[in-house]
């Protein structure tokens, strides 16, 4: 039995607590007033997360032959009628400001002449993708990390995992306080203790939940922590059925989650069947836009061809482009493929679809505010209404930047308030777990049945089977959580099972096929597009 700490460490008090160190978290921290004390809590290193993996770029209207209206229209078309018009316009119109800020910080975007080189990706009607070769996310992330490290008012806590949000009506020393979020309980893995981070403003920047699926382009950190914590705290979530499967993840036994950028198709890449099936170019059979169709259409087409022919992958061929062009535009993809024995200048790349982006999330307004006072959510964990039923390529990094600024401005406009007294974490009635195999087994089971039953193509029966298994896992995990000392693996599994439950609930409520949600039982699209909203009261 672990004794409760007689003299627990005092709370760490800050003006703003940011959970997550991707683009959303780092940008929010840097855009806050420099005289505010800011804490960034991240469960691994500051560089881990999905932002650094983004290859394509950031969509912004910068060319003379482009317009805000075109970008808005492209976003709405990709979103299959579910994009919120106000959120879409707000994001698109603030894109140039976001790019200008990144350039001021020194982000090494790829240049062309006196300006920026703009590329084009699937679903876009014009060249408007600002990029840093084929490693845009890494370039931006490194730039912001350097700025954060140099900022004296920002403290970074690595290997610190979110346990739960602190609510005034559940955990405050004085229960009569108005209901709001007061900070978070955080597991310090180095000391194996749970600390209190107290702040009048908490920002969830925890990313998506790709690890709920067996195959994903996401890093291991994408376990839906913020979405699950916000739901447990009482926030609404929306559109969790819309999981974007990136069409082209590198298919190779030694290539874990390596993405083949959307830009490869934007620059002329062609999808083909394997040689023994005649290397047939199949995308024109599925959509007149061929390889430049939105991701959901391309992913579903690949899934269809793989199942039809019983093949493990398809092939993306960009070898018709000059070698010098590929070295200039896709150096990282070329190098990674070469390490695995694939010369993309001479042969096609084997690819499969993989879970890539969580379009739904915690409901926020245009200032990043959630349903709970004191709690904001920015980035992939949020639902702003921008992405609708399918995210348009390169709108994700843009959303992070635009809403990081909006949230920072909203917090800065408020009068500074002191932190409230918070009760320390009590683990006096738990014991050290001696069955870690339970966690690993449940994690593996969850990811496999989510892939099989709640993947690219769904049916009512598959969703029922998934819901049944999720209920069993939730009961087992809750018992484990109540009895044993928490670990990061347990926290992540708890969050993933909660997110899986939200995905299935939303999918069961949508009686149509739209965007990323395709049901064999409801193959038609209803005339009126409505978001899927879940409230904690409905649990």
Catalytic positions are 295
Pairing of strands 375-377, 201-204: parallel
* Token digits of residue 431: 């014991």
Backbone angles phi, psi at 337, to 5 degrees: -65, -40
Residue 187 host element (H or E)? strand 181-188
Residue 248 phi/psi, 5° resolution?
A: -130, 85
Strands in 25-110 per DSSP E: 38-41, 58-59
Residue 315 host element (H or E): strand 314-317
CA dihedral 281, 284, 289, 291 (to 10 degrees): -20
* Torsion sign (Cα): 457, 462, 463, 468: negative
* Residue 362: both structure tokens together: 């915690």
Q: Rounded to an integer, what distance in angstroms lies between the CA atom of residue 340 and that of residue 364?
A: 42
45 backbone dihedrals φ, ψ, rounded to 5°: -85, 165
State the Cα–Cα distance between residues 85 and 81, nearest whole angstrom: 10
Which of 254, 219, 225, 501 shows the shortest CA–CA distance to 357? 219
**CA distances from residue 14 to 11, 40, 197, 376 in whole angstroms, order as listed:** 9, 10, 8, 15
Helix extents (H) in 413-455: 436-453
Distance between CA atoms of 338 and 198, rounded to whole angstroms? 48
- The backbone torsions φ and ψ at residue 199, rounded to the nearest 5 degrees and listed phi first, read -160, 145
**Tokens at 150, concatenated:** 């140099």
Task: For residues 355 and 419, give the distance between their C-alpha atoms in angstroms, rounded to a whole number.
Answer: 39
């Amino acid at each position: 039995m672990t004794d409760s700490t007689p003299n627990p460490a005092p709370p760490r008090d800050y003006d703003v607590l940011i959970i997550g160190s991707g683009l959303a978290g780092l940008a929010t921290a840097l855009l806050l007033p420099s005289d505010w004390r800011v804490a960034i809590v991240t469960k691994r290193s500051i560089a881990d997360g999905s932002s650094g993996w983004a290859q394509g770029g950031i969509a912004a209207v910068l060319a003379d032959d482009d317009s805000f209206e075109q970008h808005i229209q492209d976003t709405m078309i990709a979103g299959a009628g579910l994009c919120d018009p106000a959120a879409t316009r707000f994001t698109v119109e603030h894109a140039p400001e976001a790019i200008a800020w990144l350039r001021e910080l020194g982000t090494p975007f790829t240049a062309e002449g006196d300006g920026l080189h703009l590329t084009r990706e699937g679903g876009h009607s014009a060249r408007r993708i600002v990029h840093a070769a084929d490693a845009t996310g890494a370039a931006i992330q490194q730039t912001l990390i350097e700025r954060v490290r140099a900022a004296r008012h920002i403290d970074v806590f690595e290997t610190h995992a979110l346990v739960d949000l602190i609510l005034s009506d559940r955990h405050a020393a004085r229960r009569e306080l108005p209901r709001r979020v007061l900070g978070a309980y955080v597991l310090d893995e180095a000391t194996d203790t749970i600390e209190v981070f107290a702040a009048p403003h908490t920002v969830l920047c925890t990313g998506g939940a790709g690890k709920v699926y067996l195959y994903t382009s996401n890093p291991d950190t994408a376990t839906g922590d913020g979405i699950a914590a916000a739901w447990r705290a009482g926030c609404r979530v929306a559109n969790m059925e819309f999981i974007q499967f990136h069409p082209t993840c590198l298919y190779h036994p030694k290539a874990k989650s390596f993405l083949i950028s959307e830009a490869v198709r934007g620059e002329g890449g062609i999808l083909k069947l394997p040689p023994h099936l005649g290397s047939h170019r199949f995308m024109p059979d599925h959509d007149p836009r061929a390889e430049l169709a939105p991701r959901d259409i391309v992913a579903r087409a690949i899934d269809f061809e793989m199942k039809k022919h019983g093949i493990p992958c398809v092939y993306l061929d960009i070898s018709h482009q000059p070698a010098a062009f590929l070295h200039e535009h896709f150096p990282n993809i070329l190098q990674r493929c070469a390490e695995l024995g694939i010369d993309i200048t001479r042969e096609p790349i084997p690819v499969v679809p993989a879970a890539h982006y969580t379009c739904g999330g915690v409901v926020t307004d245009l200032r990043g505010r959630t349903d709970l006072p004191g709690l904001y959510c920015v980035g992939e964990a949020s639902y702003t209404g921008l992405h609708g039923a399918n995210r348009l390529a390169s709108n994700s990094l843009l959303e992070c930047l635009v809403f990081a600024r909006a949230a920072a401005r909203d917090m800065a406009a408020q009068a500074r308030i002191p932190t409230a007294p918070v009760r320390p974490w009590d683990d006096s009635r738990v014991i050290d777990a001696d069955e870690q195999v339970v966690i690993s087994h449940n994690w593996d089971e969850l990811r496999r049945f989510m892939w099989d039953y709640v993947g690219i193509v769904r049916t009512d029966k598959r969703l029922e089977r998934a819901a049944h298994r999720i209920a069993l896992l939730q009961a087992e995990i809750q018992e484990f959580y109540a009895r044993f000392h928490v670990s990061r693996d347990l926290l992540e599994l708890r969050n993933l099972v909660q997110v899986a439950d939200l995905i299935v609930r939303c999918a069961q409520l949508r009686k149509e096929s739209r965007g990323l949600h395709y049901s064999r039982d409801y193959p038609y699209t209803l005339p009126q597009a409505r978001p899927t909203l879940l409230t904690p009261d409905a649990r």
